[in-house]
Amino acid sequence: MKIYDEGTEPLHEILRAAGADQGATLLVPDLQRPYVWSPSQVTLLVDSLLRGWPFGTLLLWKVLKNDLASIPSRPFWRVADRTGEFDDAQVSRSNPPAEFRMVLDGQQRLQSLLLAFGGDGWGFRLLDHEWSTVLDAERPRGRNAKRHWSLGHLCLDVRAFRDRVKEGGGVANVDFRDVLSWVVQSPDGGRSTLKRPANYKHPLASALDDENKGRFVRLSRLWDLASTQSGLFERYFREKLKPVLESHEVPQDIISDVLEPLAELVVTLVAIKTSKVSYLQLAPFDANVFTPDLYNDAIVNIFTRLNTAGRALTRQEITFAWIKTGWVASETGNRTAGQCFEELNDALAAEGVSIDIDALVGSVSAVWSVLHRDGALLTATDLLRGEKVRPMAQDLVKSWDTVASNAVEGAKLVDDRGFRFGTHYRSLNVLTLLLVWRLLGRQWLGSHQLSVTAKDSFEKSLDASFGNNCDRWILMSQWSGRWGKSTDKAFADYVKDLAADWSKISSLPSPDDVIDVLNTRMATWINALQGESSKYIDDLSALTRDRVHDYFLPLWLWHRLDECRWKASALSLRESKRGDLSFDVDHVVAVKLWETLHDGTTPTDTKDDQAASVDDLSTTMNALGNCCLLEKSFNIAKGAESLDAFLKRVHEFKVGKLNIDEWTRDLGLNATLVNPTGKSEKEVRVLVEARTAAMKTELKEYLAGTRQRADM
């Protein structure tokens, strides 16, 4: 079933539809990423067109007037503002015609041509230090250097144009990147008004400065001059050009030199304006052809599969477009949705959770599904249904302060317990569910009037419950393999559980009952992970030295399960004043040291008839019981010395701050493991395997809830 038609249209008509003063009928769906091209890319595109190179195909979407309100969209920008100080000036929408069109692919190119050719009010407003990067100019200096901005318009440098025409022997040989310049043209509003030092280096030239009088002509003036009326020749354009150049105070000698080549340039612009641009155009919804589900699914898949600048549009970007469209800034301290999400993202990063906006939108969407959709996560077919997605923004603004503060507070509690996103856990689902679980208590508190003491008691009980469950949830949800192939289904099931709990909690009058529901939920989740997590610990092994990093998280926990052990292992050890400290898994008995044991088998001898025993020995060498997780400036595994020999060179032991026998005993290390010299391989293996078994027993006791962390 074909959902699109093919067509062509003159470029000037497409640009008129996108930037007409009387109102635009060609819009940008907010589902698209923002405009990101730089001024240099705009210049390069114009140069390509002037050379006669192709513009490329567009992908458009025809939308009926009645459907427009359900699709978040915006007009093109008149000013691409990157300073953050202004509301970007947009083209006005047309009074609704029967049909609008949306640009699904080609936004960057069309917006760029509008900024170049649109008119006197079109251009880029960038911070000066960004202009200096774009133009490869000297960076401005001074107290306010990073706050100054300039508004640039694309102009033809007629002096440079004259010189390049003479050098190249004609317009056809001109590289227009050398003669097109971004220039300040506005006497008011062209530059920031903050005080500048006398020697301030402006990255953009100003057409208003005395030395630049008569030098720059706006490219849009030449574009406007390029009439598409048939039968016009260069002579006609020469006559039209002369008063334009004179109005720009171009000296007569330069006018004489450039009038003819400029007329030739305008003829080229006429050819560009009338050139046919090819496009594919998606058909509007027709109930006689499509079902709503089929049509919406097709459109969303086109969005999500469409590759723009090397990446596909995500569902989160589409969701965020809906959020931004329906956001009521007055309910969030006059902060837009973009500002609120950016602030929350920065606050989470400060607590060790560095994620992108897409990931944050996904997490917030899950929050909304729990509180307002009975746990039903958004699907692809929901994303073009205004009645399903539009309420998200309306619901979020009402509870944004609670949602945001809960996320930051919860992330801090996790960080305070030593868990770092990307190091101790990599699935954002783990944290999202934990934070939403806590949010249910915060939401309940926000809708119930409690005395000061009762409120304080509830908050402390909530955080105590969070602390009691946080660690096991983070660790066990990973060790159980919960976030494997069925991640989406598992996450959806958990969200449904939380929504069911919220349905109960929202009607409960007692704070204690709320805590009971939350504790029951977390106990149910954790108990369901018990068997798989314990099996993970039972099976935990590494065959080669480079795989012992797999023990990082189990060792991180094990070191914290005994007070003396934690006190000993928490100290940083430095062999000398030189060398950087690193926090990693290391061996107790070095791999090469095993080779010196009097009845040992060389693990590197792969031709040995006892290959099976070699593998068995390698497993013991790299077993959990032969490893520790320490912060130190030395690596035992790479040498052939005993741990005892290493420790005697370590500063803390040399000066008597630590005692080797006591320190190793606290880490559960037998004296033979500390110095196996003269011992048999069998003796050492027995001790490593016994230590491995003891460590795994402690870890499983923790999983079962019979052992607690000693470091908190």
Structure tokens at 396: 């979020």
Q: Are residues 141 and 241 in the same domain?
A: yes
Confidence band, pLDDT 50/70/90 cuts, at residue 592: confident
Q: Are residues 507 and 553 in the same domain?
A: no
Instruction: Kindly tell me if the per-residue pLDDT of 186 is higher than 70.
Output: yes
Burial class (CB in 10 A: 0-12, 13-18, 19+), 652: middle
Q: Are residues 527 and 560 in the same domain?
A: no
Structure tokens at 638: 């790479």
| 120 contacts 153 by C-beta, under 8 angstroms | yes
Confidence band, pLDDT 50/70/90 cuts, at residue 303: low
Instruction: Kindly tell me if the per-residue pLDDT of 513 is higher than 80.
Output: yes
Nearest to 412 by CA among 430, 425, 427, 431: 431
Structure tokens at 505: 């909690």
Q: Beta-carbon neighbour count of residue 554 at 10 Å?
A: 22
User: 593 in helix, strand or coil?
Assistant: helix
Nearest to 303 by CA among 592, 103, 146: 103
Confidence band, pLDDT 50/70/90 cuts, at residue 238: very high
Close Cβ partners of 240 (under 8 Å, ≥ 6 residues apart) = 225
Q: Report the pLDDT value the prediction gives residue 311, as an integer from 0 to 100.
A: 42
Classify residue 93 by its DSSP letter. Answer: B
Position with higher pLDDT, 627 vs 144: 627
The arithmetic mean of pLDDT across residues 654-659, rounded, is 88
Q: Are residues 662 and 525 in the same domain?
A: no
Instruction: Kindly tell me if the per-residue pLDDT of 610 is higher than 50.
Output: no
Nearest to 244 by CA among 269, 268, 219: 219
Q: Are residues 406 and 453 in the same domain?
A: yes
Query: Domain boundary at 522, 538, 554, which?
Result: 538
Q: Report the pLDDT value the prediction gives residue 400, as an integer from 0 to 100.
A: 96
Q: Report the pLDDT value the prediction gives residue 602, as an integer from 0 to 100.
A: 46
Q: How far, in Å, CA of 139 to CA of 359, rounded?
A: 35
Q: Are residues 507 and 612 in the same domain?
A: no
Q: Are residues 475 and 553 in the same domain?
A: no
Q: Report the pLDDT value the prediction gives residue 14, as an integer from 0 to 100.
A: 96
| 154 contacts 42 by C-beta, under 8 angstroms | yes
On whether residue 480 sits in a domain, the answer given is yes
Confidence band, pLDDT 50/70/90 cuts, at residue 671: very high
On whether residue 588 sits in a domain, the answer given is yes
Q: Are residues 660 and 600 in the same domain?
A: yes
On whether residue 359 sits in a domain, the answer given is yes
Q: Please, which residues bridge with residue 311 across strands?
A: 308
Beta strands in 582-626 (DSSP E): 582-587
On whether residue 518 sits in a domain, the answer given is yes
Range of the domain at 588: 545-704
Tens of pLDDT, residue by residue over 527-575, are 999 999 999 999 999 988 889 999 999 999 999 999 999 999 888 887 6
Q: Report the pLDDT value the prediction gives residue 470, as an integer from 0 to 100.
A: 96
Position with higher pLDDT, 293 vs 518: 518
First to last CA, the chain: 62
SS (H, E, C) 358-408: HHHHHHHHHHHHHHHCCCCCCCHHHCCCHHHHCHHHHHHHHHHHHHHHHHH
On whether residue 194 sits in a domain, the answer given is yes
Average pLDDT, the chain: 88
Write out the H or E segment, with its range, that includes residue 662.
helix 660-666
Query: Domain boundary at 538, 566, 582, which?
Result: 538
Structure tokens at 617: 């020995």
Q: How far, in Å, CA of 63 to CA of 103, rounded?
A: 11
Taking CA 284 as the corner, what is the angle to CA 280 and CA 296, rounded to the nearest 5 degrees?
100
Q: Are residues 531 and 550 in the same domain?
A: no
Query: Domain boundary at 220, 242, 270, which?
Result: 270
Amino acid at 360: L
Tens of pLDDT, residue by residue over 379-418, are 876 776 667 787 898 899 999 999 999 999 999 999 999 9
Instruction: Kindly tell me if the per-residue pLDDT of 307 is higher than 50.
Output: no
Q: What is the CA radius of gyration of the chain?
A: 34
Q: Are residues 394 and 460 in the same domain?
A: yes
Q: Are residues 260 and 214 in the same domain?
A: yes
Q: Are residues 486 and 629 in the same domain?
A: no
Buried (b) or exposed (e) across 556-586, using 16+ Cβ within 10 A?
Answer: bbbbbbbeebbebbeeebbbeeeeeeeeebb
Q: Report the pLDDT value the prediction gives residue 440, as an integer from 0 to 100.
A: 98
Q: Report the pLDDT value the prediction gives residue 635, as an integer from 0 to 100.
A: 75
On whether residue 67 sits in a domain, the answer given is no
Q: Report the pLDDT value the prediction gives residue 196, as an integer from 0 to 100.
A: 85
Total domains in the chain come to 3
Q: How far, in Å, CA of 8 to CA of 388, rounded?
A: 36
On whether residue 601 sits in a domain, the answer given is yes
Report the range of poorest mean pLDDT among 33-42, 103-112, 320-329, 496-505.
Answer: 320-329
The arithmetic mean of pLDDT across residues 175-199, rounded, is 91
Q: Beta-carbon neighbour count of residue 193 at 10 Å?
A: 8
Tokens 């990073």 belong to 146
The arithmetic mean of pLDDT across residues 611-624, rounded, is 74
On whether residue 95 sits in a domain, the answer given is no
